[in-house]
Amino acid sequence: MSDVAAPEPAAPANGSPIISLIDVKKEFRIRGKPPVEALRGANLSVPRGSMVAIKGPSGSGKTTLLHLIGALDVPSSGEVHVDGEELTTMSELELTDYRARTIGFVFQAYHLIPNLSARENVALPMEILKVPAADRRKRALSLLEDVGMDERADSKPSKLSGGEAQRVAIARALANEPSIILADEPTGNLDTQAGGTVLKILDRLNKEKGATVVIVTHSGRIPPLCDLTFTIRDGKVTSAQESKEIAAIENQKRTLRVALSLSEKFVDRLVAAGFVDVRAIADAPLDRLADVVGDKNKAARVAKRARVLAENADVIE
């Protein structure tokens, strides 16, 4: 674990957290190469019964985050708490039971067993919990009916469309009545119509069954359906509000760089000192600006340019 303990993320106001990640780091090591940092001190708090989107570009650490919550992998350091349990302290046997009872996985590539029918695929997770065969068959058919696939119960995956295969995968994820559904790009391989159907099913599971649904995505159409949206970039997780604040700061920096013809490093120092727009720089005492810049003559040149722009009605704010 990290030498410096990070504060536990505060639970959002609309529910107690069922998932909590604290200062989680994950490195992948390949012999002869520097370690790759997939997560760099990630903190995350997901309220019980919520539907949450985690978005970010490819390679940002989204899938790694999901795998840690689902106990498909372990963090290099930090803590992963799910439903009151600290996963990093559990034995492999306990983790197997946790995956079987608590988590339902939905993958972008479906991962259906090709030589099993839709019904047999859905029934398979129940074997881990030793559910009797007759009960497995009955529940599998019921789950397929819930996702509109009962008429294709005896079809093999090769005979299903992408949308149909994903609906079977969702039914399989629900086999052992998990409290959490983890969906990794569930619409990534689907057309708009099939993807919409899958999202409606996940939304219904959340609202009617009370399942906590965590969806990893780079799609812009999923976050509006969710209670919360987190962004992951460069291994760090931010909330929607934090992402907006970061974007606003970056926009301010960009404006200063263009308006005053300054370097990125120089602008970073100005913004860190509270000079977030041209007007603030124009009105600043020269000595204060010089302390930030480190050079009185350069500070004077910057202040002069800022005053000219501030007096111009077309100054970019």
Which pLDDT does position 2 carry in this prediction?
Answer: 34
> Band of the pLDDT at 4, cuts 50, 70, 90?
very low
On whether the CB atoms of residues 231 and 240 are closer than 8 A, the answer is yes
Q: pLDDT (tens digit, 9 = 90+) per residue, 133-184?
A: 999 999 999 999 999 999 999 999 999 999 999 999 999 999 999 999 999 9
Which pLDDT does position 141 carry in this prediction?
Answer: 95
- Beta-strand runs (E) in the chain: 17-28, 36-47, 51-55, 77-82, 85-86, 103-106, 180-184, 212-217, 228-233, 236-239
Residue 11, pLDDT above cutoff 80: no
Which pLDDT does position 103 carry in this prediction?
Answer: 94
CA distance 297 to 282: 15
Mean pLDDT for 185-203 is 87
Which pLDDT does position 94 carry in this prediction?
Answer: 94
Distances in whole angstroms, Cα of residue 251 to Cα of each of 105, 254, 307: 38, 5, 20
Determine the number of helices (DSSP H) and then strands (DSSP E) in the chain.
11, 10
CA distance 123 to 140: 5
Fold held by 243-311? DNA polymerase; domain 1 (1.10.150)
More confident of the two residues 20 and 34: 20
On whether the CB atoms of residues 141 and 64 are closer than 8 A, the answer is no
Delimiting residues of CATH 3.40.50.300 domain(s) in the chain: 17-234
Q: Count CB atoms within 10 A of the CB of residue 294.
A: 10
> Band of the pLDDT at 290, cuts 50, 70, 90?
confident
Mean pLDDT for 118-123 is 96
CA distance 101 to 99: 6
> Band of the pLDDT at 15, cuts 50, 70, 90?
low
> Band of the pLDDT at 243, cuts 50, 70, 90?
low
On whether the CB atoms of residues 230 and 238 are closer than 8 A, the answer is yes
Residue 215, pLDDT above cutoff 60: yes
Specify the residue for token string 């992963």: 80
Which pLDDT does position 241 carry in this prediction?
Answer: 67
Which pLDDT does position 236 carry in this prediction?
Answer: 85
CA distance 16 to 8: 13
Q: pLDDT (tens digit, 9 = 90+) per residue, 303-315?
A: 888 888 877 744 4
User: Residue 265 corresponds to which tokens in the numbers above?
Assistant: 């490093």
**Which amino acid is located at 101 in the chain?**
R
Which pLDDT does position 149 carry in this prediction?
Answer: 93
On whether the CB atoms of residues 239 and 228 are closer than 8 A, the answer is yes
**Which CATH code is given to the segment(s) 17-234?**
3.40.50.300
**Which amino acid is located at 60 in the chain?**
S
> Band of the pLDDT at 246, cuts 50, 70, 90?
low
For residue 154, count CB atoms less than 10 angstroms from its CB and return exposed for 0-12, middle for 13-18, buried for 19 or more. exposed
Q: pLDDT (tens digit, 9 = 90+) per residue, 56-91?
A: 888 888 999 999 999 999 999 999 999 989 999 999
Degrees (nearest 5) of the Cα angle 198, 204, 209?
Answer: 130
Q: What is the mean pLDDT of the chain?
A: 85
Mean pLDDT for 294-299 is 82
The residues near 297 (Cβ < 8 Å, ≥ 6 apart) are: none
Delimiting residues of CATH 1.10.150 domain(s) in the chain: 243-311
User: Residue 109 corresponds to which tokens in the numbers above?
Assistant: 């590539």
Mean pLDDT for 299-306 is 85
| Rounded percentage of the chain residues whose pLDDT exceeds 90 | 47
User: Residue 135 corresponds to which tokens in the numbers above?
Assistant: 């009960």
More confident of the two residues 14 and 171: 171
